[in-house]
Structure formats: structure tokens, C-alpha cells
Amino acid sequence: MPNILVSNDDGITAKGIAALVEVAKEFGTVTVVAPDSPQSAQSNSITLYQPLRLKSSNVFTGIEAYACDGTPTDCVKLAKNIIFKENEIDFCLSGINHGSNASINIIYSGTMSAAMEASIDGIPSIGFSLEDYDADANFDPSQQIVRKILTSIILGKEKPPALLNVNIPKLPIHEIKGVKVCQQGSGQWVEDYQMSEDPRGGKYYWLAGKFVNKDHASINSDLNALANGYVSVVPSSHDLTVYQEIKSLSHLNSK
Amino acid sequence: MPNILVSNDDGITAKGIAALVEVAKEFGTVTVVAPDSPQSAQSNSITLYQPLRLKSSNVFTGIEAYACDGTPTDCVKLAKNIIFKENEIDFCLSGINHGSNASINIIYSGTMSAAMEASIDGIPSIGFSLEDYDADANFDPSQQIVRKILTSIILGKEKPPALLNVNIPKLPIHEIKGVKVCQQGSGQWVEDYQMSEDPRGGKYYWLAGKFVNKDHASINSDLNALANGYVSVVPSSHDLTVYQEIKSLSHLNSK
């Protein structure tokens, strides 16, 4: 049985991680290391100037679990170094996030950062997200999708990919049209800060805004897959190099 | 004169941002929006559950500047939406960071996240970092490098690239061998958590560790460029898709 590390960014008591653990344990020995509080939009941030604590948790019956007072990245670093011995983690699964991590959301996402942190060490990792921010979202269809994908990745014969960003549309299972492997969409947030004054008369700004899909309908992107009722699977990486520009920027080279 | 937004992650009073502003103002009208406190390793994190404040700052003589109580990404989002009108920012420069952001450090870096956030909006952006963590590091050689690169990017005839990660070796200027456009190196951190007990007897873990260069010496990577005395320039992107895997993972597609 493979060792499966499960984490998330909504916190260890979120409904989404319970849904993920329930399916993951069909595929291996699950250990949970997850934040003790919500850590949405924490990206790959690391706690440098504070100590971190791990508390044993009995949130999941029969599953070894720890709540950590750091970020999702901290959780995975601690799991790799404190809970597990070297090379003991076979897979890392993160989520199921309450809300989409498609398109540009991947760079802000704590869910994806947990998966990415494990993948840097060569651990095949998957982040799962449901397009529903509700704390009480229905994860039943998502569980069927997770099971289908883990069957391919964990039980399949192909070498597992390093990092997948899986997003699931908010639909009943019979309305989900299938799974599409695709590219990260080029949507972005258009911010609309709420401006107001605090009780001491200080001006403040509070982030709000809307997400805009900038992809042409013909692009095989995660945003278009979701809009058309498909689960999106984007093979992703921590290597941000734009390789084709290394040549086109050669005028910057000098000796 | 182009409008140049300057930010960083070490905070508005860091020596590195003063060094950057001094050079940037030779190339355009500089506006600074930077964190009011150190925000290292904050990655692309965003403040969702707290209001943000902007305070006018006179840290830089003759330069419009604001200190923000959020992350580097918050700084740039506020700059784009509150300080500037739409499409008014021509370039975004971030840094000069006290410490390397080469290789995997790009994903944790607050310096690079500020530049990345602007680049998402199509603003050509550059993060500058010096391989020296000292608060009192010598930025004189770095200023000459920044000037050289801005001369190419801002005054040159080529279309400016979307996002560059520039790292500068800790060397006197006459020992810097040149500039190399290269790929993100495959180094990584090997953590070594310090374990101890707090005054209440609670066990804690504090992140420490060392960085390991995993690149073969023949690879044209930022780590190798720096090790050989070159400034590294990595064209980078917020698109994390591994395009070649879209085809190789087609067995995951389903209807």
C-alpha cells in the first residue's frame, strides 16, 4: 500500500479534506498534515520568523493526522522532515479545495502549493478543487472524480505525472461530461477594492473583484473545460522558465 | 518618461529598494508601493480577510511612495487599482532583494511575486536579487548591473519581456563576468528543522536548512551562472502548464 500524504489550505476541519481522505484511503495508507486554520491564498509562503507546532488530531477516524499552525507549504515540509523518513511519501494529495484553482488561481492557491511542495521532492502530487466556495459544498460528485483519477494515477501502469491541478465543476455527477487534460487558462482577477474608514477614521482597502476568462472559446484551457462541464486536469510545474525566450533574449547576454 | 512602479519584499526601508529606486529614476517617473515590514518568503499570498492600509512615505527624497501593511502581491494590486489609473504603469521593478531568488526560490519569493503580479496585467516586470542576505549588503555593483539591464529593456528597441528573474552574484563589479540569459536551476532546499521546547513545555519546529544545487555543471542554469560569476536572467511566467504533458497524459481524457 503506498503512503499518501493529504493536506489542504481550508484547514483540517474543512469538509473538502474529509471528502478527499475518505477516497484516498481506498488507495493507500493515508497520513494527514493540514493547517489548523484556513490558509486560502497563502500561495507557497513559508513561515521563517516563527516556530511551528504540530498537534496530533483525531478528526479522521483511524487515520494518523496532524494539525499545523503554519501554511500549506509548512505542512508538507514538516510532513517530509518530521512525520516521514526520507522517500517514504509515495503520493501527495491536496484539497478538495472549496473553490476553483483553475487558471491564474494556481499561483495564489494554498491547495496547489502543498501539492507543489511535495512534487519538488519528486513525489507525484495532485491538487483537487471544486468550483464551489461554500463551506457546506456537496463533495459527492467530486469524490467520484477523485476516485476515477486516483485509479488512473495510483493504480495505472503509466509513470505518474509530477504535479496535476484538477478542478471539478459544480455539477451533479451525471451532468459532468468527462475529464479534459488541458492548459492553464489565461483568466485573471479584476480587482475592485472596497474603500472605507475604520472606527478611528483610518482609510482602508479591502480586496474584492471578479474573475474574467480571457481565453478564446477554441483554447483547450481549464477555464473552458469547466465552463463546458468537464473536469480540468492541468499538468503543472514549479519550473517557471519561458524556454523559448532564452534564445530571443540573447541580446541581453554579455561577457 | 515611462511610469515605473517599484516594490520589494524586504520592506520600504530596506537598503536594497533604496538602491533600486536610485537607478530606476534615471529611466522614468518612479512610484514606490512597498510593504511596511519584511515580507520575505510570502510568495504570491494575498490578504483576503483583513483590510489593507496605504501610508504615504517620505523615505525616498522627491519620490511618491507608499508603505502598505500587506504582502508584495497586495502592494502591486493596490498600486494598479488605487494609486494608478488603468494601463498607467509602464514597468514594474522589484527588489533589490537581500538574498538570492535563483532556482526554486522564485516560487517562495515575495520579490518575484510583486513582479509577477504586475506581469499578469501585461506590465513588463523585473525582479532583482543580490546573493547577499546582509541588511547592510553592498549594492553598488548591483546598481551598475540594474542600470545595464534597464538600458537594454527600457531604452532598447526590442519588445520588453513579460517577466525576468535577475540574480546578481556577491562580487565586486570587476569580478562579475557578464550576464547570462538562462533557465531556472533545479536546486532545492534540504530542510533541517530545529526542534525544541517553548517555555510552556510545548514542542516546536523552526525551519532551517541548506540549499543544494542539483544542476549538472553543463546546464545553462541560473545557479551555474551565479556560481561562475555571472548575473543570471531567467525569462519567467505565471503559466505553470507543462505543455508536453498534455499529450502524454491523454489517457486521462474521458467523455
pTM here? 0.96
CB atoms within 10 A of CB A48: 14
Q: How many CA atoms lie within 13 A of A195 on its CB side?
A: 7
Residue in B121, B125, B176, B254 to test binding to A, most A beta-carbons within 10 Å: B254
DSSP classification of residue A184:
P
Cα separations in angstroms, B86 against A80, B77, B244 = 44, 12, 36
Domains of chain A (ranges; CATH) run: 3-185+216-252 (3.40.1210.10)
Q: Which of A52, A104, A158 sits opposite B120 (nearest CB)?
A: A104
Residue in A252, A253, A255 to test binding to B, most B beta-carbons within 10 Å: A252
* Band of pLDDT at residue B87, cut at 50, 70 and 90: confident
Q: What is this model's ipTM?
A: 0.95
CB distance B205–A149 less than 8 Å? no
Contact A44, A17 (CB under 8 A): no
Instruction: List CB contacts (< 8 A) between B108 and chain A.
Output: 44-46, 73
Read off the pLDDT of each residue in B162-182 and give the average, rounded to a whole number: 98
CB distance B108–A204 less than 8 Å? no
Q: Each residue of B19-33: pLDDT tens digit?
A: 999 999 999 999 999
Q: Which amino acid is it at A150? A: L
Instruction: List CB contacts (< 8 A) between A246 and chain B.
Output: 181-183, 220, 235
Please report the pLDDT score of residue B85 as a whole number.
Answer: 84
CB atoms within 10 A of CB B44: 29
Q: Which of A106, A163, A255 sits opposite B177 (nearest CB)?
A: A255
Q: Which of B45, B191, B246 sits opposite A81 (nearest CB)?
A: B191
* Band of pLDDT at residue B86, cut at 50, 70 and 90: confident
Burial readout A168-184 (b: 16 or more C-beta within 10 A, e: otherwise): bbbbeeeebeebbbbbb
SS (H, E, C) chain B: CCEEEEECCCCCCCHHHHHHHHHHCCCCEEEEEEECCCCCCCCCCCCCCCCECEEECCCCCCCEEEEECCCHHHHHHHHHHHHCCCCCCCEEEEEEEECCCCCCHHHHCHHHHHHHHHHHCCCCEEEEEECCCCCCCCCHHHHHHHHHHHHHHHHCCCCCCCEEEEEECCCCHHHCCEEEECECCCCEEEECCEEEECCCCCEEEECCEEEECCCCCCCCEHHHHHHCCEEEEEEECCCCECHHHHHHCHHHCEC
Residue in B239, B246, B247 to test binding to A, most A beta-carbons within 10 Å: B239
Nearest to B171 by CA among B129, B226, B221, B134: B226
Read off the pLDDT of each residue in B60-86 and give the average, rounded to a whole number: 96
The yes-or-no verdict on residue B255 having pLDDT over 90 is: no
Q: Which of B46, B106, B182 sits opposite A108 (nearest CB)?
A: B46
CB atoms within 10 A of CB A10: 25
Instruction: List CB contacts (< 8 A) between A232 and chain B.
Output: none
Q: How many CB pairs under 8 A join A and B?
A: 219
Q: Each residue of A4-28: pLDDT tens digit?
A: 999 999 999 999 999 999 999 999 9
Sign of the alpha-carbon torsion through A252, B1, B7, B13: positive
- SS3 (DSSP) at A166: strand
Taking only the tens of pLDDT, chain A with its 255 residues reads 999 999 999 999 999 999 999 999 999 999 999 999 999 999 999 999 999 999 999 999 999 999 999 999 999 999 999 999 888 999 999 999 999 999 999 999 999 999 999 999 999 999 999 999 999 999 999 999 999 999 999 999 999 999 999 999 999 999 999 999 999 999 999 999 999 999 999 999 999 999 999 999 999 999 999 999 999 999 999 999 999 999 999 999 998
* Band of pLDDT at residue B75, cut at 50, 70 and 90: very high
